Each structure stands twice: as structure tokens, then as C-alpha cells.
Amino acid sequence: MPFSGAETRTARDSGLFAALFEHALDGVLIANDDRKYVDANPAACDLIGRPRDQILGHGIEEFFDLEQDEPVPEAWDAFQREGAQFGTCRVRRPDGIVRYAGFRARANFLPGLHLSILRDITDKIETRNALDAKNRELEAANLQLARSNAELMHFAYAVGHDLKAPLRSVASFAQLLSKRLDGADGEIQEFVTYIVDGVRRMNTFLEDMLAYSQAAHHADTVRRIAADVVLQWAVMNLRSAIDQAVAEVTHDPLPEIMADQGHMAQLFQNLIGNALKYRSAAPPRIHVSATPGEGEWTFSVQDNGIGIAPDQHERIFGLFKRLHGPDVPGTGLGLALCKRIVENHGGRIWVESAVDRGSKFCFTIPA
């Protein structure tokens, strides 16, 4: 039966309080020191799914479960000590409908009486739970994708590695055959030349594929390196091509960075190699610089080559994407490898270029 004695009379003496109590959109509950409810407003009754006479005189734990699974008696003792409490609870309704409420409670707002205000947050909780479920599905899908990518990279590496030995044999015997046929029919010599050139191209492709598959693995080899030293290694590897093109490679002072030394050398080598490959009629002039930014360094490799049309700026970083056909040597993996190296270091890469205006390849490395 409803409590209408001294416990509630004091709290209901004020007409203003009574009006607010009855018409509040949030649920309002008043409990005594025994954790029994002595009053409930209509909004609280709607939330709990019971009329007032089925709430008054009953304990808190009969209607609510704390979302953090803390037993109500222990939570009540802490509430009494601290004087206030807030959190989320699940509502036990007789119709079986699950509702959630966010609550704020104040101890002894009147002597021996404790006030709780509850707001229905079921929609928010269900949305959060749905997002959590989607996130779990996404994490599982990402994990599966990562495994598939790892297996694919392992397969590519294994195939590339295993093909190199027979390819070397084909190249060796093709060269021997060319020597044996020296002076033979010109058409036969042409066929042998095609074989040797095809083997060379295939070997270049396998080398690039192996480099691309290995670029994902650098976590154990990241250390502080001097970027200018790494650049010099790349220039040394390209010395023959640089001299042949009568090119000039210059650089500003470059910083020390945390990176994989071999991969950074490969990155510089590919970008400078592209500048040599796609040069204009003028002698190639290539300049490397770095500028500090918000938590990162921005490197640039600028040339005076033939340039790249703006509508191709994104496309060129894709796998096997080539702009100039078979007349220009290459596998279409060079810039894709650059992109993978930079992204594995936590950076990004892009190009600023226009046809006949040269190209400026930029990439960032976290400081």
C-alpha cells in the first residue's frame, strides 16, 4: 500500500515540489534508509512498467540492476558514504521489455529520504550495443583480411624466390646459345635476343615483387637513421644511370628519423630512378629536401622531367600502373612500393606535377 505517513508528508508539503514531482518528464523516486521506495512519480512508473502501489514499499534491487554488475547493497553503502551517485542501470519490467536508465541520486535530500532521478536512455544503449557489434564484426573482418594479405604476401615471396633459380638457368643458357649462334642467321639471333630480353624483364619483375612483399615487414628493423646517409647509398646504387644521363642529384641537410634503413634507401632509389627514367631533353636535375611539420617531416624529391598529368596523380601509385607503355622499361611496381613503404612507416605520399613542368614527389615520416 502507498506510504502516506510522516516519511512522505515532509517531502510533499511544498506545492511547487508536488507539481514538479508529478509532471517531470524524468522518473523521480524517493527511498528511505531501508532502501525501500516511499514515492514514485508517473514517469518513474512508466519506466518501471508498474503502478505506484506496486513500487512503494519495495526494495531498489527488485526493479534495477546496475550495469557495472555491482550488488545493490554495496552500491547503497557507497552512496550513503559519498552522498551522491550516478550511473546506468537496467530496468526489470514485468512485461519483459528491456529498458535502460541513466540515474543521478542524492542522499538525505531530506532527513532519512534519498532522491533518484532517472532518464530513459534505452535508444542510446541499443545504438551503442549495435555499434559495438558492428565494430566487433569489422575487427573480425579486418583480422581475416590481414591474415589473407599476409598469406598472399608469403605466397608472392615464395613464388618469386623459387622462380629466380630456374630463371637464372634460362638466362645463362640463352646467353650461351647466343654465343654459339654468333654469325648465324639474323632472324635466329633476333629470337635469342628476345629470349634474353624477356628473361631480363621477368627477373626485374620478380625483384620488384619480392621487394614489395618484403616492404610490409619492418617493425623489428626500425631505428634512428640519418636520412642524408641513406640518400647517399641510393645515389651510389644509381651511379651508373646518373652518369649515363649526365644528371645532377643535390640535397639540403636532411634530418635523423626513425625508420627502416633498407626500405628508406629503396624509397629514395625508386623516386630518383623514376626522375632519371622520365627525364626531358634537358639534363636531369634532381633535388631532395625535408621540412619539419606538426609531428612529422615532409620529404620531397623534385625533378625537371616530363611531368605527370593531374588526372594521373592518384593512379600512378597503384599496382602495375604504367603511363608510357612498354617503350619505357619498368614493371609498374616502383611507386606502389614507395607508397607501401611510406604508409608502413605511418606517413603518406603524393605528387605535385604537370606535363612538361617536372614532378615533385612528397612523402611524410613521423618525427
Please count the other Cβ atoms lying within 10 Å of the Cβ belonging to residue 267: 29
Q: Is the pLDDT of residue 135 over 70?
A: yes
Q: Which of 58, 89, 120 is the last residue of a domain?
A: 120
Residue 362 and residue 224 in one domain: yes
- Tell me whether residue 55 is in a domain: yes
Residue 232 and residue 342 in one domain: yes
Residue 234 and residue 338 in one domain: yes
- Tell me whether residue 78 is in a domain: yes
Residue 87 and residue 16 in one domain: yes
Confidence of residue 330 (pLDDT cuts 50, 70, 90): low
Residue 209 and residue 225 in one domain: no
In this prediction, residue 247 carries a pLDDT of: 96
Q: Is the pLDDT of residue 187 over 80?
A: no
Q: Which of 162, 179, 214 is the last residue of a domain?
A: 214
Q: How many structural domains are present in the chain?
A: 3
Q: What share of the chain in percent tops pLDDT 90?
A: 43
Integer Rg of the chain from CA: 37
Residue 250 and residue 326 in one domain: yes
- Tell me whether residue 314 is in a domain: yes
- Tell me whether residue 86 is in a domain: yes
Tell me the range of 16-20, 153-157, 210-214 where mean pLDDT is highest: 16-20
CATH code of the domain in which 93 resides: 3.30.450.20
Residue 258 and residue 198 in one domain: no
Residue 232 and residue 313 in one domain: yes
Amino acid identity of 189? Q
pTM for the whole structure: 0.52
In this prediction, residue 141 carries a pLDDT of: 84
* Upper half-sphere CA count for residue 300 (Cβ side, 13 Å): 14
CATH code of the domain in which 225 resides: 3.30.565.10
Confidence of residue 31 (pLDDT cuts 50, 70, 90): very high
> In DSSP terms, which residues pair with 350 in a beta bridge?
362
What's the domain range around 261? 220-367
d(CA 298, CA 85): 50
Question: For the ranges 114-118, 317-321, 353-357, which has the lowest average pLDDT?
Answer: 317-321
Please give the residue that has the higher pLDDT: either 271 or 178.
Answer: 271
Question: For the ranges 6-10, 79-83, 182-186, 302-306, which has the lowest average pLDDT?
Answer: 6-10
- Tell me whether residue 1 is in a domain: no
Residue 51 and residue 101 in one domain: yes
One-character DSSP codes across 294-319? SSEEEEEEE--SS---GGGTTGGGST
| Grid cell locating 12 | 510533499
Residue 133 and residue 67 in one domain: no
- Look at residue 1 and give its three-state secondary structure: coil
| Grid cell locating 174 | 640463352
| Average pLDDT of the chain, as a whole number | 83
d(CA 235, CA 265): 9
What is the torsional sign of CA 352, 358, 364, 367?
negative
Residue 108 and residue 147 in one domain: no
- Tell me whether residue 194 is in a domain: yes
Q: Which of 214, 238, 260 is the last residue of a domain?
A: 214
* Upper half-sphere CA count for residue 157 (Cβ side, 13 Å): 13
- Tell me whether residue 141 is in a domain: yes
Q: Is the pLDDT of residue 218 over 70?
A: no
- Tell me whether residue 307 is in a domain: yes
Of 261, 186, 183, whose CA–CA distance to 228 is shortest?
261
Give 59-78 pLDDT, tens digit per residue.
Answer: 888 898 876 666 777 778 88
Residue 206 and residue 270 in one domain: no
